[in-house]
Amino acid sequence: MNVVVYSTKTCPYCVMAKDYFKSKKISFKEIDVGADKNKAKEMIELSGQMGVPVIVIGKKVIVGFDKPAIDRALKN
């Protein structure tokens, strides 16, 4: 399954989300939107939000570190 985490270096919820995926042995692509303005724009277009983390699992977009939503998306 394709998992992408849009994050910044200073976001504690981003760290929690990435640690959660690591604990479940799920690989993910991390995109630092603080360092890449084009990717920040892409994240905003995907989610309608400027806050991080924005997590994309398959075609599901999750804003914030929402474990129940993440688990539901991983099951599908």
The mean pLDDT value for 44-67 works out to 96
The mean pLDDT value for 32-38 works out to 97
Q: pTM score, two decimals? A: 0.95
Pick the CATH number of 3-75 from 3.40.30.10, 3.40.50.10190, 3.90.220.20, 1.20.1560.10: 3.40.30.10
Mean pLDDT of the chain: 96
Peptide bond into 53 cis (omega under 30): yes
Segments making up each domain of the chain, as ranges: 3-75
Q: Which of 51, 13, 64, 9 is nearest to 31 (CA)?
A: 9
